[in-house]
Amino acid sequence: MVDVFSTSRSGLLAAQRQLATTSNNISNVNTEGYSRQRVEQTARPPMGTGAGFVGTGVQTSTITRMFDENRELALRQATSDFARQDVLASYNGRIDNLLADESAGLSKPLQAFFDASQDVANDPTSTSARQAMLSAADSLVSRFQLIDNRLRGLDEESNAQIAGNVEAINGLANSIANLNQEIVLAKGRTGQPPNDLLDKRDTLIRELSEKVGTRTVAQADGSINVFIGNGQGLVQGTQANTLGTQPNADDPTRQDITFERPGRAPVNINAQISGGELGGLMDFRREVLEPTRNDLGRLAVTIGETFNQQHRLGVQFDGEAAALGGDFFGVGTPQVIPRDGNDGDAEVQVSFDPDNPGNLTSSDYRAVFDGTDWSVRRLSDNSVFSEADLADEDGRLDGLIFEFPNDAEAGDSFLIRPTAAGASSLSVELNRPGQIAAANPLTAGEVLDDSGQVLNSGNGIIDRPSVTEIDGEQLTALREAGGLLFTFNAAANRYDITTNNDPGTVIGSAAYNPASQGGGTTLEVNELDGFESFDFTVRASGTPADGDRFVVDVNETGEGDNANALQLAGLADDGALNGGRASYQDFYSSVVGKVGTETQRAQTNADAQSSILEQAKADREAVSGVNLEEEAVNMLKFQQAFQANAQVITVANSLFQTILGAVQR
């Protein structure tokens, strides 16, 4: 009877544990990260007798957590990938909405500015048209600055979110390390897996994967090591290391992520971070935010430089005499940022190449001195240009001019960001309508006598002068020389060029053959003695007689002249960017299209990763999730087992009482 009692008692206890475990499963059906548990039971060792082995009951070996490591790893990876793409899609979408919006983007104010320029060309004497052009320029500049402010706001916001994620990661790492310690102690004390602690740790690692990509390695003592980036041990057993943020050595406005261990210097791990919200933020900053700011700055600088270049070739009538136009726009200078820790005080000088504004790229550059020579690396494609290479081009590279100091120390490094601040630094330099240089600085025509009669006997024509290079000194010199005389030399088929005040001294010539060019041709005039920085073209046609003379002079009374205004308005359709292949609007459209493509790609990837994440969750739940119907069936089964074992104890007790009664008789 004792054996029956012992056997039924073991069954009663086993059923009780099964009922308790099933009850716990049902209670935690909605608990995030809970893994269904199951009581594992085995038969007790049987007792040998002469008649054979007699069973001695059942024993509970362990309580198993229904858990699949591979499915958990897949869920962590899916969580990390979705978080990255979701952050990318969110931030990219905000830039896309900003640039593509008709009321907030650049297309309308850019078009309005060149429409206003065309209105000045249509009526150069109209003060209201000129004022409207200045107002449109102010609106264009304001829009550039507004967009740049929004982008800088996104930069600051992403920096704050990076710092917030770093703080959250550190908190999770510390919690995981503490759980590691509890798990090791619990397992060592009982020899059994502490299932609830394991679930809690897995949930924290999953939360960590949402912040940054992780990799885990289980240890024999029950602890788990967590690695991020390129093998940085964030959690190693019961020890948690930390992440930090610090200003970038090249650009203090940019936050870098560091890996910190006690007693060691922080290590920059920007390049190693991937996955999770943190990886998405780093990707957004590197792949979309900074390139977009550079692209917009490049557009602003190119508009400013090309418009200024043409505006300086016209004349204004804001004072008593015609004067060359000044800069219409104020354009900032390239940012040159010395690396924190440079040994020397030397500074690299970088300026925009006024002759080649269309060669600008959207790339940043790094200039490094090795102790002997300088080199410049274009960061967009890692092309390296030596100091000798640049010297061959007079320091010119990609629309920039580099000047290197002689007092640098070996290892000195400078980050050059030519266009990053281009949009924010653009300004309008003119404040009066009369300052708009709408007129051509030159006039051309036949020489007249005192009564205004034409002296030439042929039918040749020289007109439509167009200036390609001039400065204030040359304009004054031309005025003082009384203009330039073009005298046709029939024997040599050329125009001899002299000054009006000294017609006997030839200072240059322009070949012209009426027989082959009489239908019209453009004569390029340059390298005139005394006018070395004065280049222009004129349109020649017809058959001049030998000795026929034409004069090219300063346009002193051209308030109604619109020649330069037409050139300014025509810049809207010129290929000013991408090596002459893209107009301003074309380039802006390409920037909008590029951001839109990146946004669509990120959103598509986020949608795909969302589906993968849901499937990964379902796969985990298929193994670890609590099924209420299954648990209800188990509850009935274990209840019946409990009742049956209790009944066996009742029967055993009855039999035992019968034996006692027989003995007592």
Average pLDDT, the chain: 91
Same domain, 19 and 158: no
Query: Total domain count for the chain?
Result: 3
Angle formed at CA 204 by CA 284 and CA 75, multiple of 5 degrees:
65
pLDDT digits over 358-381, tens only?
899 999 999 999 989 999 999 999
Pick the closest to residue 340 from 253, 243, 229, 242 (CA basis). Answer: 253
Residue 426: pLDDT band (50, 70, 90) is very high
Same domain, 194 and 47: no
Same domain, 24 and 78: no
Same domain, 97 and 208: yes
Q: How far is CA 379 from CA 12, 373, 400, 415, 511, in A?
A: 74, 19, 15, 10, 48
**Sign of the dihedral defined by the CA atoms of residues 254, 259, 262, 265, in that order:** negative
Q: Which amino acid is at 230?
A: N
pLDDT exceeds cutoff 90 at 348: yes
Cα distance between residue 652 and residue 95, in whole Å: 80
**The total number of residues written for the chain in this structure:** 665
Whether 327 is covered by a domain: the verdict is no
571, 306 contact by CB (below 8 A): yes
Same domain, 515 and 466: yes
**Sign of the dihedral defined by the CA atoms of residues 160, 162, 168, 174, in that order:** negative
| Beta-carbon count within 10 A of 521 CB | 15
576, 584 contact by CB (below 8 A): yes
Q: Which of 259, 284, 309 is the last residue before a domain boundary?
A: 284
pLDDT exceeds cutoff 50 at 299: yes
Question: Is-above-0.75 flag for pTM?
Answer: yes
Cα distance between residue 209 and residue 168, in whole Å: 11
Same domain, 157 and 36: no
Residue 664: pLDDT band (50, 70, 90) is low
Whether 202 is covered by a domain: the verdict is yes
The domain of 15 spans 2-66+632-664
Same domain, 85 and 98: yes
Whether 92 is covered by a domain: the verdict is yes
Whether 394 is covered by a domain: the verdict is no
Backbone angles phi, psi at 381, to 5 degrees: -135, 5
pLDDT exceeds cutoff 50 at 1: no
Same domain, 272 and 176: yes
Same domain, 196 and 131: yes
Whether 547 is covered by a domain: the verdict is yes
pLDDT digits over 62-120, tens only?
889 999 999 999 999 999 999 999 999 999 999 999 999 888 899 999 999 999 999 99
Average pLDDT over residues 243-253: 84
Same domain, 101 and 230: yes
Whether 527 is covered by a domain: the verdict is yes
Same domain, 100 and 28: no
Cα distance between residue 556 and residue 553, in whole Å: 9
Same domain, 229 and 99: yes
Q: Which of 284, 318, 351 is the last residue before a domain boundary?
A: 284
Whether 435 is covered by a domain: the verdict is no
Average pLDDT over residues 391-409: 91
Whether 405 is covered by a domain: the verdict is no
What lies within 8 Å, CB to CB, of 311 at 6+ separation is 325, 326, 327, 328, 436, 437, 564, 568
Task: Concatenate the DSSP letters of all residues of 28-90 into one string.
Answer: TTT-TT---EEEEEEEPPPEEETTEEE---EEEEEEEE---HHHHHHHHHHHHHHHHHHHHHH
Pick the closest to residue 213 from 244, 234, 239 (CA basis). Answer: 234
Q: Which of 528, 554, 580 is the last residue before a domain boundary?
A: 554
pLDDT of residue 10: 86
Cα distance between residue 66 and residue 22, in whole Å: 13
pLDDT exceeds cutoff 60 at 49: yes
